[in-house]
Chains A and B, each alone.
Chain A
Amino acid sequence: MKRETRRLLKKFFSNFSACLGFVLLVFFFIVAVGAPYIAPPKSARDPYMMPIVTWSSNPLPPSPEHPFGVAGKRDIFYGVVWGTRTAFRIGIIVTVVSTLIGLAVGSIAGYFGKLVDEILMRITDIFMAIPFLVAAIVLATILGAGLDKVIIALIVFSWMYSARLVRGNILQVKEEQFVMAARALGVSDFMIILRHVLPNSIFPVLIQASMRMGSLVITAAALSFLGIGAPQGYADWGALLNYARNWMMGSQGEALRYWYMTVFPGVAMVLFVLAWNLVGDALRDVFDPRLRM
């Protein structure tokens, strides 16, 4: 097992794009953990609320005091740094919880089959019948303002993907002889699922989860970009981009005057999503030789 792990790690890190993704992720992780030191909050209040630094609503260009400039009366640098935390928080909570729900639903459907399977899979279909972004918008709007509401809305409409994957894998693993052997020995259904079936179908789920992180963070940011969910002034990349919308047109003769409002939070988002996509891609290549090209 140890040798196998070392082999997989070696294979992972021999891939340039995987290394790039990994380095980016480590960088974002350091920024998220070190946020209180990189961009110290000025007051003792909730550090996730971006403090108001000026009373004019005009954006200010980057300066020594505000390295990324000022948008919507708030420091962009502060928002980008603390927004990293928000992105990790939403991404990790939603991915973990929705994957666990998916694991439970998928294994029950796949293992018991027949009517249980049919009912659970039709329910899954129904949740998938509403486009993800639309569904998230609707539920977040109904639940009201707050980051926790956004997280709930995203969980409710994202467990289906892992449920389907787990079910498919379990249908395959179920026919294996070691499962039949366990059943012949009188092991309970629950233990068979937990000890024999799941461990053999867990890797595709983890890979899929890491690849979904990117799209989840995009959707969460899209909600705050539209002004739904996170409260006004909450440190979030989407919210920062929302400030940029009204200043898109630049000013007379200087079309790109307010570039910093879009570029800094935008680049942070693209790199974050890119990092997860690269790592997910590489993991898939390493663990699933069939998909390797």
Chain B
Amino acid sequence: MKKKIITVMLAVAMTASLLAGCGSSSSTSTATADTAVAATSAAATEATSEATAAATSAGAAAATEATGGMDATGKTFAIVVKSAGNPYNEKEIEGFKAVIEAAGGTCISKEPEAATADAQVSVIQSLISQGVNSISIAANDENALQSALQDAMNAGIKVSCFDSKVNADSRQTFVNQAGTQEIGQALMDAVLDISGGSGQFAILSATSQATNQNAWIDAMKSLMESDSKYANLELVEVAYGDDEPQKSTDQTQALLTNYPDLKVICAPTTVGISAAAKVLQDQKSTVKLTGLGLPSEMAEYIGDDDAHSCPYMFLWNPIELGDLAAYTAIALVNGGITGATGEKFTAGDMGDYTLTDAGDNGSEIILGPPFEFNADNIADWKDVY
């Protein structure tokens, strides 16, 4: 009996406290949320109907209007990276924050507790609660964020992604670090060049579900089929190191053991390339390495001579990627662009950018071609990022 009473009391207390605790502040903050929604509602309805349909019509008109629109005073911009504790993500935040704050806006940076879509969903929901004006996200899964991001767009928040995209229904536009095709081309040419035109090569990727890596690897494969200059190259295996140093090391060693004639390893992932570089250099292997890596992590391994395992590699500047993501977010919030293909805007001192077709019914903005790091310039870059 006593127990029953206590249970009932508990239930009452729980509901009461939930209502009381929240009631006090709800009035004020819903009010602000309402005004925010009202202010952006016109743009929002247009935006949520999404890119393709309205595409061409809006295009040219928006271009002129956008140039002067880089003021973000009083607005809040959120950046969500893939995971915590990764310098590459940290540099993206650094660039994003600098631009937003220079434009007078408030920047919220979010690093989810784990590199999973689950964790990002919670983060997005939290940002919706805070009533931010824009979310820029580097997605851990292309499709899994759709529900959360659509909630955000319905709440009037401008959603753009960078680094790693979400599907066209979950975004307004995508800030792409470099065209998938261009990266595939650069990596294939590097493999061709380093191998001397023929021989075996292998790819050491991140996880099997990494969106970016899979797109680049697919681009490399289709290039090999379509262009006869790669005819003498043989891709023996795509190994996955799961972006863990230990597993990447194991996988690299397995590649070396399994394929004694291997000439080149291509690792389009920052953790994989540094683990592989270390293995090759320690073993004084004749196998050479290329791929995508952070200069600060790879400085030790880049060089033209036999003592270094990586003659050259590529990457874009994550700080600039953050910058461009910020300019894009500001342009979206200010109505300079809506995310339709063909629109143009000026990204501060970075110059003019055009929204192009991303090939998935959505639009994208490409930062530029990947940058080559080699023995000559690595010393200049290793302290930058």
Does A associate with B in a complex? Answer: no
B interface residues with partner A (beta carbon < 8 Å): none
